[in-house]
Each structure stands twice: as C-alpha cells, then as structure tokens.
A and B are shown apart, each in its own frame.
Chain A
Amino acid sequence: MASHGIRDRVAIIGMGCTRFGEHWDMGIDDLIVAAATQAFGDAGVTKEDVDAYWFGTAQSAMSGIALARPLGLEGKPVTRVENYCATGSDALRQAVYAVASGAYDMAMAIGAEKVKDGGYQGLNAFPVPGDGTARTVTAAAMFSMVAPAYASKYGVPLADMKTAMARVASKNHHNGARNPRAQFRKEYSVERLCAMPAVAGGLSVFDCAGVADGAAAAIVVRSEDAHRYTDKPLLVKALSLVAGNGSGLGDPNYDYTTFPEVAVAATDAYAQAGITAPRAELAMAEVHDCFTPTEIVLMEDLGLAERGTAWKEVLAGTFDLDGEVPVNPDGGLKAFGHPVGASGLRMMFEAWLQLRGAVPPERRISTYGKRSLALTHALGGYPGEMVSLVSIVGVA
C-alpha cells in the first residue's frame, strides 16, 4: 500500500471562474454556464470534446443531471461530488484521476454553489434526519476555539493574537481589492479590524469568510496532449485527500492548535510532488482561510512556518503578496468569497493565472518567474473532524 500520486501525468489546459458575490440575478444554472463557457473558450474546446464531467456542489443541486441540463450535454458521464468545503477540489481530483487512468482523454471539473437563495446569512447545512443530539453550534464558534488555544499553547499575548488574526484579514482584503472577480474589493486596516465586535468567541464577522455565489471550472488532459491546447499547461504534481474520522472531537489529547488531517495530507502531497522544503519551493499557496485563526494554523500544518511561529510570520508579512511566500493572493475565502462547491477550483484558478503570468502587475506574486509551484488547500468540517485536500501544481 502506498500513495504513489500521478505527478506530471495530467495537465490543466483551460479554466474559468465567475466573479464571486451576491448574484441575485443568476441561478445555479447561469453560474455553471458562465464558468464552463469561460473554460471551454480558454482551452479552445467544446462541450462535446470533453469526455466526462465531475460536478461539485455541496448543497445547491443533486446528481449529474444538474450539470447536464444547463450545459445541454448529450450522453455524457457526469458525477456529482460532495465533500464539504473540499467539494470543488475533490471534483478536480476525480477528473484528474479519471484521465490519468486512461479511461478518458479529456475531463472537466466544475464546482458551483448558489448560497444566496437560502434566505439566511452564513452557510446552513442540509438537514439530515437524526436523533437530535448533533452539535448545533456554528462553524465560526467551533473555529473560534482555535485562537485562545493557540495563544495559550505558544504564550502569545491575546492582543498580539488578535492583531495577527486581523493582519490575515487585512492581507486578504488587500489582495481581494486588486482582484476584479473577488466578492469584497475594499481594504481594511488592522486597527479597524481589531475594533470589530465579536460574534463567535473572539471572532468578528470580519474574521469569517465571505459567503458568496459563484462557479469555477477546469479542463484536464494527459500531459503529453496538453500542448495541443495551450503553450502553458499547468501540470498536476500532487493530490492528497484525507477524511478525518472525527476522533479529535472526543480525544482528550486534541488541543485545537493544529489540524492533523491537513498535516497528513500536506506530507503526502509534498512526497508525491517531490517537495522537501515547501517554504523555499512554493511560489504561492491558496489556503482555506474560512476564519482568520484557521489561516494561521494552516501555515504550520502545511509546513510554511515552524510550530508556534506562524502568528509572527503573519505579522512580519511573510505571506503578503510581496512577501516570501504569498498566501491567498486572490483574496482567499475571506475577500474572494466562499461558494462551497466552487472554492477549490477558484483556488486552482488563481494558481493557473499566477504561475502563467496572466495577472496584471499590481496583483502579481513576488515569486513570479523565480518559482514554479503552487499549492491549493481546502478543508471542510471543524477542528477535530474535517476533510482536507492538498493539491500541488506547477508550470515546469
């Protein structure tokens, strides 16, 4: 038994991504058509050229029919994918593996979420009939427990912890402000963010991801075929998914300062990609900043900072657009918005643009031209009980 990976066997040849936001005038079908049309155009292919589809949506639709109908697909295999907030990333993983297996020549992964038709703020899980004993607390509340736990473990004064969290939000808003597809395009100072009232533990609304509608898509082929479609394909280096067993919630040794599912997925992905020093090798990372303390802990679980130091690195600007390893250069979940099924593919869309030099200078990563690898990371669930998917792609 081993995780061999499929390094360099499959490549992305075209992508599409809608603006994320409150699309009162667009339904899930409109979002799907918009993202797919962009991707088809980007790759120079048609829907008939694509042999199979993987459609990620957490709770906006059911079954492959929800993709086949708006795109008007005829006789195509379409799989609906759901894996919490890793849904979009997992759709891509399955499309990539299908091509790598030789089953298909060309596949599309597309993720879409129509959140803003629900009538409530925030994300609201689909109710599964149960015995009524499941936790009802919000994701914000669950993740809010990370900040004091981290601060306590590493002796970080709570004021410094709050500043570091605000610095994460400020950075991501800075990046989002420069991105025409982002939900929020306004910058916020650390001082202003620190003054926001708490809604869950120490988290303010501005410590939470934006809730948005949106869709994103990618088309993949075998690497040897990629140059028929583009001069600059994005090679898939690694895909690693871990579904936690929930034991962290009941484990007295779990301390809310790390996400073990992420650390395991990252280690596996780096091994698949042959990466030994991620901080020195990665040009950028798009990570699942669902809440600001999450991004701080992720820097450590993904090996971009030593344990107990990420908060200092955040304050030092290590992960800024012009820092040593830019993180969430597109604005992240925080500023770009979080349509659950689309987010993983949105992250990949940013890697697609940045590594291939397709962004304007004002939002270009500092490492452009010097490094060739990007990491995307999605997680779904809560501290102690989550799925985590780490993808690594590169242009060389």
Chain B
Amino acid sequence: MRGITGWGTHLPYPRLDRSTIRGVAGSGGGTGAGTRTVASYDEDTTTMGAEAARGALRGRGDRGDRLQSLWFATTEPAYADRTNATLLHAVLRLDRTIPAYDATGSVRSAMAVFRAGWQGPGSSLVVTSDTRTGLPGGPDEAAGGDAAAALLIGDGEQVLAEIVAWESVTEEFLDRWRTPGAPASRLWEERFGEARYTELGAEALKLALGKAGIAADAVDHLIVAGLHDRAVASIQRASGVSADRITDRLASTVGNPGAAQPALLLAAALEAASPGQNVVLLSLADGADAVVLRTTQALASYRPWRSVRTQAAAGAHLAYGRYLHWRGMLPVEPPRRPEPGRVSAPAAHRNAGWKYGFMAGRGGGGDATSDTVHLPPTAQDDTRTPVADALATIVTFTVDRLSYSLSPPVVFAIVDFDGGGRLPVELTDVDAGEVAIGGRIEMTFRRLATSDGIHNYFWKARPVREELREEPQEK
C-alpha cells in the first residue's frame, strides 16, 4: 500500500479584503466578497514551502531522516537556474544524500512532483507553493491566493490515504500563458479553455474511476483544482458527484493558490474525511490529472500540525495599498537608510546549520559540562541542537521606526527559548500594539531582504496564536 502519510499546509497571515480593491483600482475585486491570502513582504514561495514542509514532518513527528526524495513545485520560483528545494532541504536539516529537486514554471508542475513522489521509491516529501498576483483591478488579483501545501508519501501502515488510481491526459492548447517575469497571466477567450478542460477533465475522471473500480456515486470527496473557474464549475456539475460531496475550494477565504491548490485542497479534504472513504483529486492544467485515493483506518488518529480550516479562519487585514507595494505594483518612498548588503555565499554556506537549520550551539570552550545554549553557535561549541520547533517567551521588546524595513516599523524582541537559549529577534505577522512582555512566540522561516538578486533567508519570530494552537478534534 502506497499513499499519503501526512501533510502540512501554510496559509500566510495577511488577508486582502476583496471589497477594498474597487475603491482604489476603480474596478475588480470580483464580487467583492471574502478575502484572499497574501504572502507577507518577507515571504516567498520558498519560505511558504518551507513552513508547509516543516508542518508535514511535525504532524508526523518525523525528523525527515527516512526521506528518499524532496520535491518542490511553483510557478513563482524565488530563483531561476539554481534549485529552490535545496533551501527547504537546509531548513529541514536533511542529510545530504537525500536529493532535492525543483519543478518550476507551470501550474501543472505541482502534479508532476506529486506523481514523482508517488512513483518513489521510498518515502518522499512533495512541496507545492505559489503566489498569484494579476494586474490591479483584474480577475486574477481577486481570485488568486498565496499558499503552500506539502504531502508526505510513503508505504505501509502509516498510509492515511492510499493512492489507488492515477490517470492523466495531456493536450497542447492555449488557455493561459505568462512570459517569465511578467506579473500577470494572459488569457484566451475563456469559452475555448472551458470547452477543452471540460472534456479533458471528464475523460481523466472517467479513466481514474474506472481504474479504481468505483462509480461516481461512490466518491465521498471530489476535489477539482484548476485556475479556470468556469471549467471547474462545469466539471463539478457534470461529474455525477453530489454537490455536498464536492470539496469547497476556499474561494471566500484563501483564493486560488495555483500550483499549491491541488495539495492544499487534498489536505483540506483529508482533514474532513473519515477512514474508508474515496477521495478524488482532479487537477485541470494543460490536460488533466485524476487521482483516486482511499482513506485508511490510520486517518482516524492522525492530527495535522495545523489544519487548513484553522489557518483559513485566522489572519489579519492587509490594506490594498500595502498589498500593491509588496507585489511591486506600487512604488512607495523607500526607507532613508542604507540598503542591506548582500549575503556572502561562503559565509552562508559555512553557517548553513544556523542560518537555515536554526541549530543552536552548546558546550562552548571545551567545557563539556556547560549547558549554555548559544544562538548563534559560538566558534568553540562542540554540539548542535535544533531549536526551530521550540517556543520562546518575550523578555522585552521594542518598536524601531528608524531601521531599514520594507514594512516598517520593525518590531524587535529579546526572547528566551523553552529549553534554553536567548535570542534578539525580529518579529513578523504581528501588529506592534499586540506585543507584550511574557508573550509566546514561534519561529518562522522568512526572507529578510534581497540584495544583488541574492535573497537573504533567515528566521523571524511570530506570536503563537491561540486560534492556531487548538486543533479541532471532531471530524
């Protein structure tokens, strides 16, 4: 038996209220209802993917040491030419013999890495992440969302949902396209794409159900992912699966996160599923992929690190102007401070355990009895301890309106980690007014700045939010 053994998702904290778009852009915002998620100014597809991947391993209580491959897919890679998955590999502190690969550019690359992970061998971690932009006032801006979702795939009794069939159809036609580097997709007349996707989706679905040996009325959860809304709706209607068994696409809270949507909706469906159910994922992108999964008894006792539902219900309002600024659509007055210098490649490489793995040092000065935890490790420390998953308490803090930041003011705190170690650290996903001495924080992997085209990735702290801590236990 081979299938999904765990999952992790990351929904960024900022939310754009669609009703605020029209007043500025003059049009757009779709119907104006609901919100979409927005990657914060210090997030990109790599950092969101890292958070989702951390969640997948934490939900499983897994250190990742048995993984045999790591896969990363996005339409918005932070880098071209070099692999982005290697950063996730470093954040997860994986052994160097575990390979990490990207598949970037197309929405369909998400299903490619899922399929590669499924085909094995061994245990694999498949991470999908996307940011969706669109031009101001356009439909993609309102309909899009930013998210990451990671799937753990493996064999044996840990399998929560066995993959029983996977059928794929492929066809060359032009519906949506984007020149690399362009901020927004362009679209052919949508009736053409609707016609193609409706036919291709129906075909893939039929093949997969046939392979699995089940009829449409035996499908307990049908997920239809894809950026063509009309095609998705028409396939849902024509599928033969009743409306109450069709997984909500999170349009009113998250929006459509492109390459992250298939795994995100699969995670949401599995969080709502019971053991022994048929879950079908149909992804429409340059053809169609239909995957039939059957949940196992093990699902009953699995708790994801943070469910899609609780993350979707959280979040904080983001002003439309600030969203436009973060996306590079609205130049604003820059901070009147020198820009940060670029990261040194050899220094970052030497200190990768600290910079990416957030490993503390211990036992400095050759003193084996010393239990002091050093953040960062000192040159004389002889052991390394992972601290990324530890919580910490705010000892004191300050709000800096002078420091260079893409989103001032900088909120900065001195924090003490449970289990030892003190760190002066920048806070994120936070309103300066809500910080208090004694507050609890968790670490999150972020992009601090970019200089010379080099992204400076490191960790920040963010408040531990009660609404995210308490997982709903009912199914």
What 0/1 pattern do residues 126 to 161 of A give for CB contact below 8 A with B?
010111110111101110110011000000000000
Is the beta-carbon distance between A141 and B458 smaller than 8 angstroms? Answer: no
- State whether A136 touches B376 (Cβ < 8 A): no
A122-B402, A131-B344 as given contacts; A141 in contact with B412, CB under 8 Å: yes
Contact, CB under 8 Å: A130 / B344? yes
Q: How far is the CB of A133 from chain B (nearest CB, A)?
A: 5
Judging by beta carbons under 8 Å apart, are A130 and B347 in contact? yes
Contact partners of A144 in chain B: CB under 8 A: 398, 400
- Check if A141 sits within 8 Å of B402, measured CB to CB: yes
How far does the Cβ of A293 sit from chain B's closest Cβ, in whole Å? 12
Q: Chain B: which residue is nearest A130 at the CB level?
A: B347
Contact of B412 among A120, A137, A149, A251 (CB under 8 A): A137
Residues of B within 8 A of A140 (CB): 400, 402
Kindly state the separation between the CA atoms of A131 and B377 in the bound complex, as whole angstroms: 13
Give chain B interface residues in 374-426, CB to chain A under 8 Å.
Answer: 374-376, 395-404, 410, 412, 414, 416, 420-424, 426
User: Is residue B338 contacting chain A, with contact meaning CB distance below 8 A?
Assistant: yes
**Contact between B400 and A127 (Cβ–Cβ < 8 Å)?**
no
Within 8 A of A (CB), among B250-302: none
Contact status A138-B400, CB under 8 Å = yes
Which residues of A109-133 are within 8 A (CB) of B?
A: 120-122, 124, 127, 129-133
In the bound assembly, the distance between CA atoms of A129 and B354 in angstroms comes to: 16
Choose from B338, B350, B420, B424 the contact partner of A135 (Cβ within 8 Å).
Answer: B424
List, in ascending order, chain A residues with CB within 8 A of B403's CB: 136-138, 141
Residue in contact with A137 in the complex, picked from B375, B416, B424, CB distance below 8 Å: B424
Q: Using Cβ atoms and an 8 Å threshold, which residues of chain A touch B336? A: 120-121
A124 and B412 contact, CB distance less than 8 A = no
**Which residue of chain B has its CB nearest to the CB of A248?**
B422
Residues of B contacting A132 with CB < 8 Å?
340, 343-344, 347-348, 355, 448-449, 456-458
User: B311 in the interface, Cβ–Cβ < 8 Å?
Assistant: no
Q: For the complex, give the distance between the alpha carbons of A142 and B410 in Å.
A: 12
* Contact between chains at A136 and B422 (CB < 8 Å): no
Q: Is B351 interfacial (CB-CB < 8 Å)? A: yes
Q: Which residue of B lies closest to A144 (CB)?
A: B398
What distance in Å separates the Cβ of A252 from its nearest Cβ neighbour in chain B?
A: 5
How far is it, in angstroms, between the C-alpha of A129 and the C-alpha of B338 when the chains are bound? 15
Q: Is B122 an interface residue (CB 8 A)?
A: no
Number of residues from A at the complex interface, CB < 8 A: 32
Say yes or no: A251-B422 contact (C-beta < 8 A), given A130-B344, A133-B376, A141-B398. yes
In the complex, the answer to whether A141 meets B410 with C-beta atoms within 8 Å is yes
A200 at the binding interface (Cβ < 8 Å): yes
- The CA-CA distance from A135 to B373 in the complex, in Å, is 18
Contacts of B397 in A (CB 8 A): 145
Check B396 against A256 for contact (C-beta < 8 Å).
Answer: yes
Partner of A131, one of B338, B343, B404, B414: B343
The one of B343, B398, B404 in contact with A136, judged by C-beta atoms closer than 8 angstroms, is: B404
B341 at the interface (CB under 8 A from A): yes
Within 8 Å CB of B421, what residues of A? Answer: 250, 252
Partner of B355, one of A133, A148, A199, A249: A133
Interface membership of chain B positions 426-470, coded 1 if the CB is closer than 8 angstroms to chain A and 0 otherwise: 100000000000000000000011000000111000000000000
- A residues less than 8 Å from B423 (CB atoms): 250
Interface centre among B373, B375, B403 (most CB of A within 10 A): B403
A201 to B435: give the CA distance in the assembly, Å: 12
- Whole-angstrom distance from the CB of B430 to the nearest CB of chain A? 15
Structural contact, B337 and A129, CB atoms closer than 8 A: no
The residue in chain A whose Cβ has the minimal distance to the Cβ of B454 is A132
Chain A residues with Cβ under 8 A from B350's Cβ?
Answer: 131
Knowing A120-B338, A132-B348, A250-B374 touch, does A199 contact B401 (C-beta < 8 A)? yes
- Expressed in whole angstroms, the Cα–Cα distance for A222 and B376 within the complex equals 46
- Decide: B398 and A200 in contact? CB cutoff 8 A: yes
Q: A120-B336, A140-B402 are in contact. Are A148 and B396 (CB under 8 A)?
A: yes
**Could you tell me the distance in whole angstroms from the C-beta of B441 to the nearest C-beta in chain A?**
15
**CB < 8 Å: which of A121, A133, A200, A256 contacts B458?**
A133
Within the complex, what minimum Cβ distance (angstroms) separates B119 from chain A? 37
Chain B residues closer than 8 Å to A124, beta-carbon distance: 337-338
In whole angstroms, how far apart are the Cα atoms of A384 and B422 in the complex? 12
Q: Give the contacts of B289-345 with A (CB-CB under 8 A).
A: 336-338, 340-341, 343-344
- Known contacts A131-B351, A250-B375; is-contact A200 B402 (Cβ 8 Å): yes
Closest to A147 in B: B398
Instruction: Return A202 CB to nearest CB of chain B, in Å.
Output: 8
Chain A residues near B457 (CB-CB < 8 A): 132
Q: Which of A133, A141, A256 contacts B354 (CB 8 A)?
A: A133
Output the nearest chain B residue to A385 by Cβ-Cβ distance.
B424
By a CB distance below 8 angstroms, the chain B residues around A136 are 340, 403-404, 410, 426, 448
Partner of B399, one of A149, A200, A249: A200
Of the candidates B400, B420, B456, which one forms a contact with A200 in the assembled complex, judged by CB atoms under 8 Å apart?
Answer: B400
Please name the residue on chain B nearest to A245 by beta carbon.
Answer: B378
A249 touches B424 (CB 8 A): yes
Q: Assess whether A252 is in contact with B410, with CB atoms less than 8 Å apart.
A: no
Q: How far is the CB of B403 from the nearest CB of chain A, in Å? A: 5
CA distance A249 to B376 in the complex (A): 10
CA distance A253 to B456 in the complex (A): 31
Write the chain A residue with the least CB distance to B420: A252
User: Does A129 lie within 8 Å of B344, measured CB to CB?
Assistant: yes
Closest Cβ of chain A: how far from B396's Cβ, in Å?
5
5 A-B pairs whose Cβ atoms sit less than 8 Å apart in the complex? A120-B336, A131-B351, A132-B456, A140-B400, A256-B414
| Other 19 A-B pairs with CB < 8 A, given A132-B344, A133-B351, A136-B403 | A120-B337, A127-B341, A129-B341, A129-B347, A131-B343, A133-B354, A135-B412, A137-B424, A138-B400, A138-B402, A141-B399, A144-B398, A198-B399, A199-B401, A200-B399, A201-B399, A250-B373, A250-B423, A251-B422
Report, nearest first, the 10 A-B pairs whose CB atoms are least far apart: A141-B400, A201-B398, A132-B343, A127-B341, A129-B344, A132-B456, A131-B347, A131-B351, A138-B402, A144-B398
